[in-house]
C-alpha cells in the first residue's frame, strides 16, 4: 500500500506583493520585492523640469529612500544625494549598486522621520514615504521639508488620501485633498495626479487606493 499525502484543505493564498509588505511594514521584504525597479514618475518629472530650466547637478534629499531606486536615478543624472531611511538594510542594498565614480556624491543617513534633519537643498524627494510617518511627527517633518527647499526648488512624492484603506491603520499619515492643498501652500503645483482605484479581488489583501502624486515648485 502506498502512503498518500492528503491535500491540505487550506486555500492557497495569493503571493505576497510589495503592497502586502508595506501594509505590514516589513521593509526588508518590501525591498526584496521591488529591487531593481525604475525610478518613480514623480521624481522623473521633477528632474526633467530642472533639466528644462538648464539646471543639473543640484543637491537632492531622498527621504525614506528604501533600497534606492530614486537615489540611483538622481546620482545617474549628476545630482548629489542625501538618502535617508530608518531601516538598516536599505543602504546595504543601495551602496553596492552605486557606480564607483558616483559614490563621492552620495551620503546615507540611517534615521527615523522623527529625528530627520533636512539639509538645505534643491529637491526633496519622498516617494511613497510620508504616509509611513506617524501623525505626531508629520507636521514637524513637513515644516523641515518646506524650510529646506530654496525658492525654485521642488518637492516630489506621494501623499495617501483619507479614503485610502490604510488611513485607518495606526501610525499612518493620510490627508484629504484639501489638506494636501494646504500643505502645498507656498508651492506652484506642477503635477497633482490623483490615483483612486480598488484592487482586483484576487489580491492577497485587496484594498482601496487613494494616492496623490505630486511635483511642486517652491515659490
Ligand atoms: C513604501 S517604502 C518606499 C521606499 C522608496 N522611497 C520607494 O519609493 O520605493 C517606505 C520606506 O519608508 C521607510 N520608513 C518607514 N518608517 C520609517 C520611519 N519611521 N522613519 C524613516 N523611514 C521609515 C521604510 O524603511 C521604507 O524604505
Q: What is the pLDDT of residues 61-111, one digit of tens each?
A: 999 999 999 999 999 999 999 999 999 999 999 999 999 999 999 999 999
Class of residue 31 by CB neighbours under 10 A (exposed 0-12, middle 13-18, buried 19+): buried
- CB-CB contact of 175 with 159 (8 Å): yes
Statement: residue 6 has pLDDT above 70: no
Q: Which tens digits make up the pLDDT trace of 27-37? A: 999 999 999 99
| Cell reading at 166 | 490604510
Give the pLDDT of residue 8.
Answer: 64
Rounded distance from Cα 132 to ligand 1 centre (Å): 7
Q: What is the DSSP letter of 133?
A: S
Is 17 inside a domain boundary? no
Task: Kindly report the CATH number assigned to the domain that includes residue 127.
Answer: 3.40.50.150
Mean pLDDT of the chain: 96
Q: Is 86 in the pocket of ligand 1 (CB under 6 A)?
A: yes
Is 6 inside a domain boundary? no
Statement: residue 144 has pLDDT above 50: yes
Domain that holds residue 149: 39-218
Q: How many structural domains are present in the chain?
A: 1
Q: Is 106 in the pocket of ligand 1 (CB under 6 A)?
A: no
Q: Is 67 in the pocket of ligand 1 (CB under 6 A)?
A: no
> Please, which pLDDT band fits residue 2 given cuts at 50, 70 and 90?
very low
Give the residue with greater pLDDT, 29 vs 9.
29
> Please, which pLDDT band fits residue 10 given cuts at 50, 70 and 90?
confident
Rounded distance from Cα 191 to ligand 1 centre (Å): 22
Is 61 inside a domain boundary? yes
Give the pLDDT of residue 139.
Answer: 98
Is 27 inside a domain boundary? no
Give the pLDDT of residue 145.
Answer: 98
Q: Closest by alpha carbon to 209, among 127, 128, 133?
A: 128
Is 19 inside a domain boundary? no
Is 135 inside a domain boundary? yes
Q: Which tens digits make up the pLDDT trace of 161-184? A: 999 999 999 999 999 999 999 999
Amino acid at each position: 500500500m502506498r502512503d498518500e499525502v492528503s491535500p491540505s484543505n487550506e486555500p492557497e493564498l495569493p503571493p505576497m506583493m510589495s503592497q502586502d509588505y508595506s501594509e505590514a511594514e516589513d521593509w526588508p521584504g518590501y525591498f526584496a520585492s521591488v529591487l531593481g525597479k525604475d525610478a518613480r514618475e514623480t521624481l522623473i518629472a521633477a528632474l526633467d523640469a530642472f533639466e528644462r530650466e538648464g539646471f543639473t547637478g543640484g543637491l537632492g534629499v531622498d527621504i525614506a529612500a528604501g533600497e534606492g531606486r530614486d537615489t540611483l536615478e538622481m546620482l545617474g543624472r549628476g545630482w548629489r544625494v542625501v538618502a535617508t531611511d530608518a531601516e538598516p538594510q536599505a543602504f546595504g542594498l543601495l551602496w553596492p549598486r552605486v557606480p564607483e565614480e558616483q559614490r563621492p556624491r552620495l551620503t546615507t543617513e540611517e534615521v527615523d522621520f522623527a529625528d530627520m534633519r533636512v539639509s538645505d537643498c534643491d529637491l526633496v524627494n519622498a516617494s511613497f514615504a510620508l504616509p509611513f510617518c506617524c501623525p505626531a511627527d508629520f507636521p514637524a517633518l513637513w515644516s523641515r521639508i518646506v524650510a529646506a527647499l530654496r525658492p525654485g526648488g521642488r518637492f516630489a512624492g506621494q501623499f495617501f488620501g483619507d479614503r485610502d484603506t490604510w488611513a485607518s491603520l495606526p501610525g499612518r499619515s493620510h490627508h484629504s485633498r484639501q489638506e494636501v492643498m494646504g500643505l502645498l501652500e507656498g508651492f506652484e503645483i506642477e503635477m497633482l495626479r490623483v490615483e483612486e482605484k480598488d484592487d482586483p479581488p484576487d489580491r492577497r489583501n485587496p484594498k482601496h487606493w487613494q494616492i496623490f502624486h505630486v511635483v511642486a515648485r517652491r515659490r
